[in-house]
Every structure is written in structure tokens, then in C-alpha cells.
Structure 1
């Protein structure tokens, strides 16, 4: 039997009330939309809507046409992906199609009509999460990216890797991703430029492989950052190797 959610033993402590309070607290962290999922073309919020949103992250990072993309599906994405249309869903997102757009089901034809070269792999390799997709893509401008995303339920996603660097963001907010060499003052330079542009930072995380080595900052903002503003940050902060936004 599981113990009461209390650090100390107290014989007068009401276990039933404690578990009800804990359950009520946990449930308040979820919206009804986290349970029933978003507006979408079916059949599955995880295997379809979430997959579209992972593809949309690639589309937004590209900031332009994607010429080619190689998609690798893992776990249940690979096992049931064809039946649930996961492959078509990721392709739709790459093309900029939203989860509730009827064109999701016809995304392979849409990719062909737009001359986007698509390859889909179904992998048996084990991953940390069963609903995982990797997208490697090349833009019309010749920029090359790779990302790994997981669909965590209700149409919600988490991006866990970009260009080999561990990251973590949901795509729910406008997001800046900047790759740079870890040095003092880089973060303050970037945030100062955002403040000068009156762009408020909602959340921020920094990832690095080792001290003074490659690093990545992920900045979620309250307003969309334009291409011009991204170019300005890259120009003013010379230590940045690559910057993109979602």
C-alpha cells in the first residue's frame, strides 16, 4: 500500500483527504484541452496532430521553402504510423499545413506538387519516448538542420534535439534558438537586444556540451521575432554561429 503524501508519520493525519488534495492539485495543472486534444484532422491527437506540430517546427525554422526532408519515425510512430497517418502528418507540418487543415491527408501529393523531396524511414531503434520523430531537412537557401521531436499527448509536443544539441521547448510560444560558443556575456547581449526591441522573455534555457564549448540558448518570448530582428541579433552578437526561430 502506498504511503500518505506526507513526509512525516502522523497518526491523526487523514490519508483520504491528503490524496484528494494531491489529486486536486495535480488536476489543476491540466486544461480540458490537454485531455480532449486540439482541433485537428484525425484520427489521433498524438499520432496525427502532434506529428503535424513537430513538422511545423521544421517549417518555421526554415523560414522559407524546404527542398528536401528525411523523416525517421520511432516506437509507436513507426509501428502504427501508416495506419494513423503519422508519416503524412509530419510531411504536412513540414509544408506549413496546420493540424486542422484537410490537406493533412493529402500531404504526400502536396509535397510532390511543390517539388519537395521526401523520404520516410520506419525505425525499430529504441528511443526514450515511443512517439518520436527525427527530421533532417535542407532549405532552398542551402541551410541544413536536424531536429528530434516527441508527441506527448493531446496534440502537445516537445522538441528535444536540434542539430545534435539537447534542447527542450514546446513550440507553444514564439521561440528563438541560438547556437554559439559558451563565453561570458553572450546571454546578456542577446537579452539586451530583445529588451531594446521591447520583446519580453517568457522563459529561457541554456544548454551546453561542456564549459567554453558549443552551447545553445532557447528563448521563448511573448511576441514573434521577425527575420530582421534575428539578423540584427546575429550581426550584433558575433559569437553566434546560427540563429533561428519557431
Structure 2
């Protein structure tokens, strides 16, 4: 039940028609965009369950696109997101996935921009709340409710200790941490949900630790 929050009761400030199909979808799109680190040029959305069956009628396509443009859930531009994405030079592909996703409102998003790539699997689980189940092929979960650092690194002794020690030294409280690795001594990803957002200097310090490959900030609490 880790993904339940107050949004499940009252819902977020949003452009309608549906908190699950619109607000949650916007938030999923924003996570994917921020994981990529820039506006995507190509985006492929593979939809599952209710998302696949009703995304045109419920505006899920517009909401996901708005998230890729880094709009907030209450942004008045959401109904025109497809036009604005085209004007921005984005190419969008929509695919109805086969089989079941991890939740009835699920989507896999693949993004690219000049050599940069990102992939997430996520779901809108009610009231604007989302669950991210994997990022860039790693089975790590985040909620998007808190500022989150996603770190790709080598699976080496001391890497986790170095990162947690640095965050502690800089005064950040880790509310949640998740780790996945491809294999012993292979690539790994660690995500940290923090009570407050770190600045660029903290991100840079993490990036310069031994065996760190990439550090990405995901912060849906920051207005776009």
C-alpha cells in the first residue's frame, strides 16, 4: 500500500476529465521526461488495460503528451498538448500492448533524443497517484510524490554507503531507497526519495563518487 496518499481521496489540482486517466498520466509523462533529462524527440507509448481501451476518449494521450512537455496536472495547455508537441518537433507513437500490464492503467514509455534514451513502466493507480515500476530496465519503484534521485552505477562494494553518507552529510533525509542490479558486479540503479530536493552541487558530488555512471533528478513537486 506504499503508493496510497491523500490524492486517492481528494485528487490533485488538474485539468479533467479523469484523475486516473488525466492527472496520473500527466505525472507519468513528467517522470519519463525528467528521467531522459530533456524534451524527447521520439516517444513511443505502449498502453495496457484500460489505458489501451479508452485513451482517446479519456484524453490519456493528451495527458501523457503534456507530461512529456513537462506540464503540470493543472496546466491549461493540456487539451492542446498534441499540437504543441508537434510544433516542438516531437514524434509520438501509440501502441496497444498485448497481455496485461502491472495495473489496469499501465503504460511503457520509450523516449529518445540524439543518443539519450529513457524507459519507464508505470501506472496511474487512482486519484492522480502513480506507481513507477521500472526505469531504464531496472526494477526500481518510486511514487513521484517526493524529490527523487535516480543513480546508475556499477555494483561495487561501498557505492551505496558512499551515496547515503554524502546525502546524510548534506542534511538530506532518505524517506525511501530501492536498488536493482543486472548481476553481480554489473550495472545497477539506486533510487532515493528525499524529504527535500537537493541542489545541483549535491547532484554533482554524487556524480563524482567512484563507480557512478549517471545521476538524474526527478522532481514532480517543482512547478514547470
**TM-score strictly above 0.5:** yes
CA contact (8 A) 1:78 1:124 kept: no
**1:168-187 counterparts in 2 under 5 A?**
168-187=141-160
- Cα distance 1:62–1:229, how it changes in 2: closer, same or farther (>3 A)? farther
Match in the other structure for 1:166 = 139
- The farther-off stretch of 221-230 and 123-132 is 221-230
1:77-120 deviation line (CA, Å, top 9, x unaligned)? 00011100111110100101111112111100010111122222
Contact 1:75 1:124 (C-alpha < 8 Å) held by counterparts: no
1:59 aligns with 2:63: no
Task: Output the aligned Cα RMSD.
Answer: 2.0
- 1:203 counterpart (170, 176, 186): 176
Distance 1:31 1:66 in 2: 30
Runs of 4+ in 1 over 6 A off after TM superposition: none
Deviation of residue 32 (structure 1)? Answer: 5.5
Structure 1 residues 1-246: aligned runs within 5 Å:
33-139=7-113, 142-235=115-208, 237-246=209-218
Task: Give ranges in structure 1 of 5+ residues lacking alignment.
Answer: 1-25
Return 5+ residue gaps in structure 2 as ranges: 219-224
More displaced stretch, 209-218 vs 163-172: 209-218
SS in 2 for 1:48: helix
Q: C-alpha displacement at 1:30, in angstroms?
A: 6.6
Deviations 1:21-67 (A, max 9, x none): xxxxx9xx976642231111111111111111000101222333322
Cα distance change of structure 1 residues 74 and 239 upon mapping to structure 2, 3 Å threshold: same
Mean Cα deviation higher: 161-170 or 114-123: 114-123
Instruction: Point out the structure with max Rg over C-alpha.
Output: 1
- Structure with a larger share of its residues in helix: 1
**Residues paired across the two proteins, number:** 217
